[in-house]
Homo-oligomer: A and B are copies of this chain.
Amino acid sequence: MQKILFNGSWTESENPASQFHAVNPSIQEEISERAFPESSWEEIERMVDAAFEASEALFELAPGAYADFLDCYADKIEAANEQLAAAAHEETGLPVAPRLAEVEIPRTINQLRQAAAAARSGDWARPTLDTETNIHSIHGPLGGAVVVFGPNNFPFAYNGIAGGDFASAIAAGNPVIAKAHPAHPYTTQLLAELAQEAATEKGMPNGTVQLFYGTTPENGLKLVAHPKVAAVGFTGSRPGGLALKEAADKAGTPIYLEMSSVNPVFVLPGALHERWSEIATELHGSCTLGAGQFCTKPGLVVMQEGKKANDLIEEMSESFSQTPAGILLTGGGLEAVSKAVEQLKDAGAELQVGGKVADTAHFGYEPTLLKISGDAFLENPAALQSEAFGPVCLVVLAKNFTQMKAIAFALEGNLTGSIYSDSHGGDEPSYAELAKTLRTKVGRLLNDKVPTGVAVSPSMNHGGPYPATGHPGFTAVGFPASVIRFSALHSYDNVREHRLPLALRKKNPSGSLNRLVNGKWTTADA
């Protein structure tokens, strides 16, 4: 049985409720050599206690210490790229190159380093000084554990022990308890080994990083409601996210969720006329990339009916039918995609191509295109915008622009929304109308571009209105913005100068820290 990472040590799980094996999705077979424990409540609670102690010790450290740890961890991942990519490939079927070794692992390293830079600069914490009232404030650690549940589709970049939630929680000075995703527990274990090595080398308190592999759903709900758990990060399915949200909300614990999104793409008439074929190619690429298993995969394309729309659908159908079914991450995922397609059909969507489990050695579903009229969509918008997490796309043919707007209005909150318009300004009035509605429905509004590809930029919003996430004000990707999620606002009123955090003392600690001093942003001393 694989060991859990508890309070600084790799430890045998005590009385695990059960055990599980990862599955190699490329051959649909269990990886029998390693069994992973499902931890008991007692074991999880011991981790929470250890994390709480770590949180007190972390608060005593300077933010540079968090940064040193993150950088050291990033270096170790970089050095272990080959082994990590091999493990993740076995557990996820994602190609070693370019995806894992050349894209996702470098992205993960980059995120950890950006988080380190954010921690080191301290700008993210918005230090605010008011010398007249002698009240100062800064965002600081929460005091307690941050629990991170990573998703199945990014074994590195969103991993609970290495991804954006992890990096931003640590950058803010919090300990992390990660739950491995059952689709890639060994990859996660390898990451946690590197994380613990880095923590030890950099003198981080025991319990700064901890890992368990699984537990019962009931224990998951108890965990997020535990008084020593200060915040939660979750990326995954809507039902799982909503259950955790309910438990966390009831306990008053901030929870940051990324749950589901169909990432609507609107193609305005001028764009359709001008470049329907190019757009078809882009959409096909975006829908089938990574077997459609991206949170930002466009699952809904809306355009006005007519000849060009039919041409676009025909071209998409052609390219979908010629695309081999990629590897889906899990058997459960395959079932969920099948079920989602059936639901779309039951709600009136008409199958153009695909619609079947693929006849492959791996978990696979045929790239699937469906279509429906705008009238029919508007009769049942809830069912017709449920996410199918795979290579599935529904085209909605609106009868006119007014109906396109009505469709936009009927959308739930999404991570992204795209509008394609022509290059000559003919679509401009429609763009303005449509963007007004779509803006309030999405976190990231795109022009003339598919939504897959989430740049790690300070200006990224990987977030959006409910139910895409749990709060429209935060992003899960990008620094420094994502760090603030895992912080509390700490005001210091009349606190003696030598007791203040360095960032709030008169002297600017680095000479370059951006602070709001008496109402003006400045790097000067106060």
The reply on A424 being an interface residue by CB < 8 A is no
A496 contact from B123, B447, B471, B519, Cβ within 8 A: B447
A455 contact from B135, B249, B466, B516, Cβ within 8 A: B135
Q: Does A254 contact B472, Cβ atoms closer than 8 Å?
A: yes
Cβ of A253 to closest chain B Cβ, rounded Å: 7
A445 contact from B129, B432, B492, B521, Cβ within 8 A: B492
Q: Given A457-B130, A457-B133, answer yes or no on A252-B470 (Cβ-Cβ < 8 Å).
A: yes
The reply on A440 being an interface residue by CB < 8 A is yes
The reply on A298 being an interface residue by CB < 8 A is no
Q: Does B135 contact A459, Cβ atoms closer than 8 Å?
A: yes
Cβ of A445 to closest chain B Cβ, rounded Å: 6
Residues from chain B with Cβ under 8 Å of A94 in the complex: none
A439 contact from B128, B443, B490, B493, Cβ within 8 A: B490
Cβ of A42 to closest chain B Cβ, rounded Å: 22
Q: Does A494 contact B446, Cβ atoms closer than 8 Å?
A: yes
Q: How many copies does the complex hold?
A: 2
Cβ of A297 to closest chain B Cβ, rounded Å: 15
Interface residues of A in 410-451 (CB under 8 A from B): 413, 416, 431-432, 435-436, 439-441, 443-449, 451
Q: A60's closest neighbor in chain B, by CB? A: B436
The reply on A144 being an interface residue by CB < 8 A is yes
Cβ of A129 to closest chain B Cβ, rounded Å: 6
Q: Does A494 contact B59, Cβ atoms closer than 8 Å?
A: no
Interface residues of A in 453-469 (CB under 8 A from B): 455, 457-461, 463, 465-467
Cβ of A521 to closest chain B Cβ, rounded Å: 5
Q: Does B489 contact A128, Cβ atoms closer than 8 Å?
A: no
Query: What count of chain A residues pass the 8 Å CB interface test?
Result: 78
Binds B, one of A162-170, A198-206, A315-323, A480-488: A480-488
The reply on A137 being an interface residue by CB < 8 A is yes
Q: Does B458 contact A516, Cβ atoms closer than 8 Å?
A: yes
Cβ of A174 to closest chain B Cβ, rounded Å: 11
The reply on A142 being an interface residue by CB < 8 A is yes
A495 contact from B55, B447, B490, Cβ within 8 A: B447
Q: Does A491 contact B137, Cβ atoms closer than 8 Å?
A: no
Q: A127's closest neighbor in chain B, by CB? A: B459
Q: Does A461 contact B123, Cβ atoms closer than 8 Å?
A: no
Interface residues of A in 472-520 (CB under 8 A from B): 472-475, 481, 484-485, 487-496, 499, 514, 516, 519
Q: A117's closest neighbor in chain B, by CB? A: B519
Q: Interface centre among A59, A129, A494, by most B CB within 10 Å?
A: A494
Q: Given A249-B249, A458-B130, A490-B461, answer yes or no on A439-B472 (Cβ-Cβ < 8 Å).
A: no
Q: Given A475-B489, A488-B440, A491-B445, answer yes or no on A135-B457 (Cβ-Cβ < 8 Å).
A: yes
Residues from chain B with Cβ under 8 Å of A290 in the complex: none
A489 contact from B431, B447, B473, B516, Cβ within 8 A: B473
Q: Does B521 contact A521, Cβ atoms closer than 8 Å?
A: yes
Cβ of A385 to closest chain B Cβ, rounded Å: 14
The reply on A326 being an interface residue by CB < 8 A is no
Q: Does B489 contact A461, Cβ atoms closer than 8 Å?
A: yes
The reply on A245 being an interface residue by CB < 8 A is yes
Q: A484's closest neighbor in chain B, by CB? A: B473
Q: Does A447 contact B494, Cβ atoms closer than 8 Å?
A: yes
Interface residues of A in 111-154 (CB under 8 A from B): 123, 126, 128-130, 133, 135-137, 139-144
Residues from chain B with Cβ under 8 Å of A60 in the complex: 436
The reply on A56 being an interface residue by CB < 8 A is yes
Residues from chain B with Cβ under 8 Å of A484 in the complex: 473
Q: Interface centre among A253, A455, A467, A491, by most B CB within 10 Å?
A: A491
Q: Does A495 contact B446, Cβ atoms closer than 8 Å?
A: yes
Considering the chains assembled together, what is the distance between the CA atoms of A399 and B474 in angstroms?
45
Q: A418's closest neighbor in chain B, by CB? A: B493
Considering the chains assembled together, what is the distance between the CA atoms of A490 and B439 in angstroms?
8
Residues from chain B with Cβ under 8 Å of A490 in the complex: 439, 443, 445, 461
Contact with B along A90-124 (1 / 0, CB 8 A): 00000000000000000000000000000000010
A488 contact from B246, B459, B465, Cβ within 8 A: B465
Considering the chains assembled together, what is the distance between the CA atoms of A97 and B128 in angstroms?
33
A–B Cβ pairs within 8 angstroms, 15 of them: A56-B436, A59-B436, A130-B455, A135-B460, A137-B460, A139-B473, A140-B439, A143-B441, A143-B465, A252-B466, A445-B493, A463-B489, A465-B488, A473-B485, A481-B489
